[in-house]
C-alpha cells in the first residue's frame, strides 16, 4: 500500500536524514490533537459544571466554580489520535504477494498500550466522579496495567535485569528476577500515576510537570535514535508521546494560572500510565524514573503523612492569604504524645535536618507544615504568588531533567556496561 514511500530524505549540512513517513503523519496528528483540544475545552466547560463536575479554586479570593476532570477530554483526544494513527506504522507491512510480513508482536504491543491508557482514563474518571478513598486509588493503576503486563508476558517475558559493574563480579552481569519483574512493572504504574497526583494543588502544576517529563522522554528518544540505538523501540515511544504532547499542550493553555479548568485525577493517572507504558515497552523504565526526580523527592518527603505516621489533612495544598494575595505553607497540628514511634522518629529526624518548619504551641500541640515540596519551596522563598511558585517548581523540574540526562549519559557508563 505505502511501500513506495516509507521515509522522506532530507539533506542537512551535507548529511542525509531519513524521517520515517509514520513519524511525519504522527506529528501532523499531534498538531491536530492540539488544535481540537484548544477548540473543544472551552466549549465543554458549562457541560461539566451542569454535570456537577466542578471544584473551588482554593487559592483565589473569588470563589467561582471551576469545571473539574478535564483530563477526560484530553484523554479522549489523545486516544482518538492514537486510533487514527494505527494504520500508519503497520499498513506498509501488508505484502501484495501474500507473504506474511506483518509485525504482529509490535501491533499487539501498540493495542495493549492503548488498552492500558484507556482503562486508566476510565478508572481515573470514576475516581473523579465517585471521590474514591486513598486506599482504592492505589489499586486502580494496578488494574489498568494488567493488559500491558499480560502482553509483556506473552510477547517478551524477558525478566532479566542488567546489574551494575560493582556487583557483577559477585552475581554476574545480569540477573533473572522472574515474577518480581512483573511486580516492579505494576509498581512503576502505581508510582508514576500517584506521584504526579500528590505533587498538585496550584494552578498548572500537574500539567506543567507532565509536559516537562513528556518533552524529556521525547528528547531522550530522539537522541537514542540519532546515535542508532534500538530504533524501533524509541520510534514506538515517540508515536505515543507526540500525540500526548499535542493534546496536553491544549489543556495547559486552559489550566495554567489562572486556571479556567481543573484536570482532575483522570489526567494525572492518564499521564503517569502513559509514561509507564512507554518506559516498559521501550525498555527504558529506569530512564523514565530518572525524569521523576522531583516526584520521587516529594514522595519520600510525603511518606510520614501518606502512611499516617503524622496526621494528613484531606488537602495539603498551600494556604491562600486574601489580604496579600500570596500563598503560605499549609499546616498540620498534632500532639507528640499521640504519635506512634515511627511518627515521633520522622518528626525528630525532619526537624533536626530542618526539613520542616515546626512551632510548639502553649497548649502542648505542635504545628508544622504539610510534608510536600510545594510547602517546602514556600519555606525557602517566604509567602509567594501562585504563578511564581508554579514557575519555580517547573524550573526545578527542568533542572532535574538536565541532571537526569547527566546521570543517564556520562555517569551511567561508569556503573553499567549496557544501559536501558
Interface with Mg ion (CB under 5 A): 197, 265
Report d(CA 217, CA 239) in Å as an integer. Answer: 12
Backbone angles phi, psi at 372, to 5 degrees: -130, 155
C-alpha cell at 329: 505553607
Q: Does residue 201 interact with ligand UD1 by CB under 6 A?
A: yes
Among 74, 259, 285, 287, binds ligand UD1 (CB under 6 A): 259
C-alpha cell at 358: 515546626
Q: What angle do CA 33, 37, 43 make, to 5 degrees?
A: 150
Least gap, CB of 36 to ligand UD1 (angstroms): 24
Decide which of ligand UD1, Mg ion, none touches 317; Cβ closer than 5 to 8 Å per partner kind.
Answer: ligand UD1
Q: Does residue 200 interact with ligand UD1 by CB under 6 A?
A: yes
Report d(CA 287, CA 420) in Å as an integer. Answer: 7
Pairing of strands 160-162, 65-67: unpaired
Alpha helices in 199-340 (DSSP H): 205-226, 231-255, 264-281, 285-290, 293-306
Q: Does residue 301 interact with ligand UD1 by CB under 6 A?
A: no
Report d(CA 177, CA 266) in Å as an integer. Answer: 32
Of residues 121 and 200, the one with the C-beta less far from ligand UD1: 200
Rg of the Cα trace of the chain?
Answer: 23
Q: Does residue 384 interact with ligand UD1 by CB under 6 A?
A: no
- Of 107-115, 153-161, 224-232, 310-318: span binding ligand UD1 (CB under 6 A): 310-318
Least gap, CB of 323 to ligand UD1 (angstroms): 18
Q: Does residue 265 interact with ligand UD1 by CB under 6 A?
A: yes
Q: Does residue 378 interact with ligand UD1 by CB under 6 A?
A: no
Decide which of Mg ion, ligand UD1, none touches 207; Cβ closer than 5 to 8 Å per partner kind.
Answer: none
C-alpha cell at 420: 536501558
Least gap, CB of 216 to Mg ion (angstroms): 22
Among 121, 241, 285, 316, binds ligand UD1 (CB under 6 A): 316
> Within positions 152 to 181, which residues make up the interface with ligand UD1, using CB under 6 A?
none
Contacting residues for 47 by C-beta, under 8 A, at least 6 apart = none
Report d(CA 152, CA 168) in Å as an integer. Answer: 26
Q: Does residue 59 interact with ligand UD1 by CB under 6 A?
A: yes
Compute the Cα dihedral for 417, 278, 299, 393 and give only its sign: positive
Is 225 in a helix, a strand, or coil? helix
3-state helix, strand, coil in the chain (%, to 5): 65, 10, 25
Q: Does residue 394 interact with ligand UD1 by CB under 6 A?
A: no
Q: Does residue 203 interact with ligand UD1 by CB under 6 A?
A: yes
Is 268 in a helix, a strand, or coil? helix
Q: Does residue 57 interact with ligand UD1 by CB under 6 A?
A: yes
DSSP 386: H
Report d(CA 220, CA 365) in Å as an integer. Answer: 49
Among 144, 317, 384, 389, binds ligand UD1 (CB under 6 A): 317
* Residue 200 contacts residue 264 (beta carbons within 8 Å): no
Among 13, 21, 398, 24, residue whose Cα is nearest residue 214: 398
Decide which of ligand UD1, Mg ion, none touches 319; Cβ closer than 5 to 8 Å per partner kind.
Answer: none
Report d(CA 115, CA 191) in Å as an integer. Answer: 19
Of residues 226 and 395, the one with the C-beta less far from ligand UD1: 395
Among 58, 150, 377, 394, binds ligand UD1 (CB under 6 A): 58
Q: Does residue 258 interact with ligand UD1 by CB under 6 A?
A: no
Q: Which residue is nearest to ligand UD1 (CB)?
A: 55
Of residues 205 and 233, the one with the C-beta less far from Mg ion: 205
Least gap, CB of 191 to ligand UD1 (angstroms): 14
Decide which of Mg ion, ligand UD1, none touches 316; Cβ closer than 5 to 8 Å per partner kind.
Answer: ligand UD1
Is 94 in a helix, a strand, or coil? strand
Decide which of ligand UD1, Mg ion, none touches 59; Cβ closer than 5 to 8 Å per partner kind.
Answer: ligand UD1
Q: Does residue 383 interact with ligand UD1 by CB under 6 A?
A: no
Decide which of Mg ion, ligand UD1, none touches 368; Cβ closer than 5 to 8 Å per partner kind.
Answer: none
Q: Does residue 26 interact with ligand UD1 by CB under 6 A?
A: no
> Within positions 180 to 199, which residues make up the interface with ligand UD1, using CB under 6 A?
197-198
* Residue 250 contacts residue 123 (beta carbons within 8 Å): no
Least gap, CB of 316 to Mg ion (angstroms): 11
Which residue ranges make up the site for ligand UD1 (CB under 6 A)? 55-59, 68, 197-198, 200-203, 259, 262, 265, 315-317
Amino acid at each position: 500500500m505505502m511501500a513506495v514511500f516509507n521515509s522522506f530524505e532530507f539533506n542537512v549540512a551535507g548529511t542525509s536524514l531519513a524521517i520515517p513517513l509514520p513519524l511525519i503523519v504522527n506529528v501532523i496528528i499531534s498538531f491536530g490533537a492540539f488544535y481540537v483540544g484548544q477548540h473543544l475545552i472551552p466549549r465543554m466547560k458549562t457541560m461539566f459544571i451542569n454535570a456537577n463536575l466542578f471544584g473551588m479554586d482554593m487559592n483565589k479570593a473569588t470563589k467561582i466554580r471551576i469545571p473539574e476532570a478535564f483530563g477526560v477530554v484530553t484523554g479522549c483526544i489523545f486516544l482518538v489520535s492514537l486510533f487514527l494513527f494505527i494504520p500508519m506504522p503497520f499498513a506498509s507491512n501488508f505484502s501484495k504477494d501474500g507473504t506474511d510480513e506483518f509485525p504482529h508482536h509490535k501491533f499487539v504491543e501498540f493495542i495493549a498500550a492503548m488498552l492500558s491508557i484507556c482503562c486508566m482514563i476510565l478508572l481515573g474518571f470514576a475516581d473523579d466522579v465517585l471521590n474514591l478513598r486513598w486506599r482504592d486509588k492505589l489499586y486502580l493503576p494496578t488494574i489498568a496495567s494488567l493488559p500491558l503486563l499480560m502482553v509483556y508476558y506473552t510477547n517478551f517475558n524477558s525478566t532479566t535485569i542488567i546489574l551494575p559493574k560493582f556487583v557483577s563480579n559477585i552475581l554476574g552481569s545480569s540477573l533473572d528476577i522472574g515474577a518480581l519483574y512483573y511486580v516492579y512493572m505494576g509498581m512503576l504504574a502505581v508510582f508514576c500515576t500517584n506521584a504526579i497526583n500528590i505533587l498538585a494543588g496550584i494552578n498548572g502544576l500537574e500539567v506543567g510537570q507532565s509536559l516537562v517529563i513528556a518533552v524529556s522522554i521525547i528528547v531522550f528518544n530522539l537522541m537514542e535514535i540519532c546515535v542508532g540505538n534500538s530504533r524501533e523501540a524509541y520510534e514506538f515511544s515517540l508515536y505515543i508521546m507526540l500525540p500526548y504532547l499535542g493534546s496536553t499542550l491544549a489543556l495547559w493553555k486552559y489550566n495554567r494560572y489562572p486556571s479556567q479548568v481543573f484536570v482532575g485525577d483522570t489526567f494525572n493517572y492518564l499521564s503517569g500510565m502513559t509514561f509507564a507504558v512507554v518506559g516498559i515497552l521501550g525498555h527504558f523504565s529506569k530512564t523514565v524514573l530518572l525524569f521523576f526526580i522531583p516526584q520521587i523527592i516529594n514522595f519520600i518527603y510525603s511518606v510520614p503523612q501518606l502512611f499516617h505516621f503524622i496526621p494528613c489533612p484531606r488537602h495539603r495544598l498551600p494556604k491562600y492569604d486574601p489580604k496579600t494575595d500570596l500563598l503560605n505553607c499549609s499546616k498540620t497540628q498534632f500532639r507528640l504524645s499521640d504519635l506512634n514511634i515511627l511518627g515521633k522518629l520522622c518528626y525528630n529526624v525532619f526537624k533536626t535536618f530542618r526539613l520542616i518548619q515546626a512551632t510548639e504551641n502553649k497548649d502542648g500541640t505542635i504545628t508544622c507544615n504539610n510534608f510536600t515540596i510545594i510547602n517546602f519551596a514556600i519555606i525557602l522563598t517566604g509567602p509567594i504568588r501562585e504563578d511564581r511558585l508554579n514557575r519555580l517548581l517547573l524550573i526545578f523540574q527542568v533542572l532535574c531533567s538536565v541532571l537526569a540526562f547527566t546521570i543517564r549519559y556520562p555517569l551511567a557508563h561508569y556503573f553499567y556496561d549496557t544501559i536501558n
